[in-house]
Amino acid sequence: QLQLVESGGGLVQPGGSLRLSCAASGFTLDYYTIAWFRQAPGKEREGVSCIGSSGGGTNYADSVKGRFLVSRDNAKNTAFLQMDSLKSEDTAVYYCAALRRPPIQTRFGIVCPANRYEYDYWGQGAQVTVSS
């Protein structure tokens, strides 16, 4: 079955860290852009970060810039989201998504689609709760 399998969510105190993993099953991620979205209770799904197929380009939402780091290991067919200095407002279900097309390249970096329907595969979601 072609799918993305997420792991690594959990409960963490403010200021703590978590690392989410997104592993592809049934296909290779080599040619896919990987994006991370999150959806907090009562809010719309929002883009968090994305990374190009080769890992050379990344994009971060302003709200997580400097605290989160997206990466990938194509040999392991897995993408990651390292989340440091977590805040209560980071509490959400986090989803990874794979896009067959490369991201838009700009002079400032890559840009990934905000429209969820443009993505080809989605993970099942990982709950991240930041609370004392």
- State the pLDDT confidence band at 25, using cuts at 50, 70 and 90: very high
Cβ–Cβ contacts within 10 Å for residue 122, how many?
17
- Give the pair of three-digit tokens for residue 19: 């690392």
Separation between Cα atoms, residue 106 and residue 127, nearest integer Å = 32
- State the pLDDT confidence band at 21, using cuts at 50, 70 and 90: very high
Long-range contacts of residues 63-69, Cβ cutoff 8 Å, at least 24 apart: 63/89, 64/90
Residue 114 pairs in a beta bridge with none
Nearest Cα residue to 22 out of 67, 65, 62, 81? 81
Residue 2 pLDDT: 87
